[in-house]
Amino acid sequence: MAVLEFDVSKTQPQMPGMFIIFIWMARFFHLFLDDPTLSLVAVNIVASGVTVAALYLLAKSWYNHQVGLSVALLTLTSPLFWYHSVTAFSHTL
């Protein structure tokens, strides 16, 4: 797995690179977590939280507080958003 050994000749990570930043972030989490898969999931969980906060701030700056809150809550209630937030894939980024 690319979190432990980044080697393109061994297709780690899978082509086209599985977002190098995603792997770098997972390596950072791997310093604190002992499981590479859990490190990838941790990146997605943090990215999901940042996404909700960014959507809230963006909608609030464009419209108002109520719209920002609505957008954040709608995002949080999306099953697809939750699914991608707790998997070890790079779809959240």
pLDDT per position as a tens digit, 55-73: 999 999 999 999 999 999 9
Q: How far apart are CA 15 and CA 21, in angstroms?
A: 14
Angle (nearest 5°) at CA 19 between 16 and 23: 120
Determine the pLDDT at residue 50.
Answer: 93
Average pLDDT value for residue range 1-28: 71
* DSSP 8-state symbol, 10: G
- For 29, other C-beta atoms within 10 Å of its C-beta total 19
For residues 17 and 6, give the distance between their C-alpha atoms in angstroms, rounded to a whole number. Answer: 10
* DSSP letter assigned to residue 8: G
82 pLDDT above the threshold of 60: yes
Q: Give the separation between CA 82 and CA 75, rounded to whole angstroms.
A: 9
pLDDT digits (tens, 9 = 90+) for 18-49: 577 888 899 899 999 989 889 989 999 999 99
